[in-house]
Amino acid sequence: MFDYANADRLVEVVDLKLHFPVYSGVLRRQTGAVKAVDGVTFEIYEGETLGLVGESGCGKSTCGRAVLRLYEVTDGSITIEGTDIATWSPEELRRVRPKMQMVFQDPQASLNPRMTVSGIIGEPLDEHTSLSKKEKLARIYELMDAVGLNRDFAHRYPHEFSGGQRQRIGIARALALNPRFIVCDEPIAALDVSIQAQVVNLLEDLQKEFGLTYLFISHDLSMVRHIADRVAVMYLGKIVELAPRDPLYNEPKHPYTQALLSAVPEPDPNLEATTQRIILEGDVPSPANPPEGCNFCTRCPRVMEICHRIDPEFREIAPGHYAACHLHYDHDDKNAGETAP
């Protein structure tokens, strides 16, 4: 169990928004915006793993990239080690890049096919350090050892490796500058099932060894349950529920989380036979035209009239357990919400 009482906040995201403009017409005027991330708030403690889950297209990966400022954010704050980097220029961001890195989803696409392993892992060292050639090679070998790659492979090219080995190269590259915070953007999605557990176990071992903090993005709920300390559930650009792992999996509060977890296969045949699946009707609305009120109101099996009019506040409904759902407002809250300007 993660010790939150003695941990400091490393990352704090408040009301983060990332809207991509939509242009149309002969004059290419902006006629709308795709609300990929629409008011996301969370914090990550030093040494913690926060899981971020949701359907494909809900904004998980975009949120992770926005936190690292790989995209220009529309609004909100991103505080890392007490400093808000949301409005920093590329030159200012370059100074903090060593502290925050990313492991990408597709190792095939994220590695330069024309560079050797030593070149790929050593590139961050070239850009951000003044190590000698000998010191740099020693550091490359050290990183290869850390991720379980044979040093003899240092002068091979990415196409000569399996998917799992390529992902290890990507992890070694992310570790090169001794970061404190790593965004893992679906790092196992492109790998064979037999290799996924190896990569996740490697990430856990590296976290213990180097004191890393992870934002682990995935749609694999079983793997997130294995690696995460807390879990945030995202739907259509917003976080609808955030809680410590066991309370969220054992007693989900939001109808969307309940539907997601009901779809996870149960290894025990007796329990699987009694599992009640929650089937959601309809399709996910477009982030360019989200519904009025709650984003989930068009598919929610427990929708109420107020859900179509008022967007529920993301609030704490139990110690450390947050949800954005009118079901957890008391009667006075609902009345107050109906009369709010």
How much is the pLDDT for 279? 84
The end-to-end CA distance of the chain, in Å, is 43
Residue pLDDT, tens place only, 107-138: 889 999 999 999 999 999 999 999 999 999 99
pLDDT value at 9 more than 70: yes
**Left if phi > 0, otherwise alpha if psi is -120 to 50, otherwise beta: which for 253?**
alpha
> Mean pLDDT across the chain, nearest whole number?
91
**Left if phi > 0, otherwise alpha if psi is -120 to 50, otherwise beta: which for 72?**
beta
pLDDT value at 331 more than 80: no
More reliable by pLDDT, 336 or 275: 275
Facing residues of 33 across strands? Answer: 21
Cα gap 137→141, rounded to integer Å: 6
User: What is the value of pTM for the model shown?
Assistant: 0.91
pLDDT value at 236 more than 80: yes
Q: Are 298 and 291 in contact (CB under 8 A)?
A: yes
**Structural tokens at position 216:** 């682990």
pLDDT value at 338 more than 70: no
How much is the pLDDT for 60? 94
Measure CA 197 to chain center. 18
How much is the pLDDT for 335? 44
Residue pLDDT, tens place only, 267-289: 777 776 777 788 888 888 999 99
pLDDT value at 14 more than 80: yes
Written as one letter, the residue type at 247 is P
Q: Are 76 and 86 in contact (CB under 8 A)?
A: yes
DSSP, res 282: S
Cα dihedral: 121, 123, 125, 130 (round 10)? 150
Residue pLDDT, tens place only, 39-85: 999 999 999 999 999 998 899 999 999 999 999 999 999 999 999 99
> What's the mean pLDDT in 292-320?
93
How much is the pLDDT for 332? 52
Residue pLDDT, tens place only, 164-208: 999 999 999 999 999 999 999 999 988 888 889 999 999 999 999
The DSSP secondary structure of 223-254, one letter per residue, reads HHHHH-SEEEEEETTEEEEEEEHHHHHHS--S
How much is the pLDDT for 339? 31
Q: Are 309 and 315 in contact (CB under 8 A)?
A: no
pLDDT value at 340 more than 50: no
Written as one letter, the residue type at 212 is L
Cα gap 85→97, rounded to integer Å: 11
How much is the pLDDT for 268? 73
Q: How confident is the model at residue 216 (pLDDT cuts 50, 70, 90)?
A: very high
Domain layout of the chain by residue ranges:
254-341
Q: Are 186 and 110 in contact (CB under 8 A)?
A: no
DSSP, res 293: S
